[in-house]
Amino acid sequence: MAVRFVRTAVVAPGKGQEAAAFAGKMSGYLTDLGMDSHWGMEVGGTYGTIVWFSDFPDMAALETSNGKLLADAGYNDLVKSAASLFNAGSGRDRIFMLM
């Protein structure tokens, strides 16, 4: 069964344009690594929330991709570069089974 990985984070005050640029850069980086990634802004709910999502054929594929990311220096550098763009502690990951 296919799964969708979703990550959200709330943009820090005054950092909207920078956070949107980062979101596109991160999504492109993930796609270049083989994870077809998309991003957007939440329309309802918490104001200023950016969301990234990627679909995987199964949990094993998601786990393999996450393992590769943890070991990827470029990914870790990107994450560190965005620390000031998002509210501390606002990141949230969710996994959905696609029906």
Is the pTM for the entire model greater than 0.75? Answer: yes
Quote the number of domains for the chain: 1
Tell me which residue range forms the domain holding 21: 3-97
Q: Give the tens place of pLDDT for each residue, 50-69.
A: 999 999 999 999 999 999 99
Q: What is the CATH number of the domain that holds 71?
A: 3.30.70.100
Q: Give the tens place of pLDDT for each residue, 20-49.
A: 999 999 999 999 999 999 999 999 999 999
Closest CA to 89 of 46, 39, 38, 31: 46
Write out the E strands in the chain. Answer: 3-10, 37-41, 49-56, 92-97
Contact 13, 19 (CB under 8 A): no
What sign does the CA torsion over 85, 51, 95, 56 have? negative
What sign does the CA torsion over 69, 35, 51, 20 have? positive
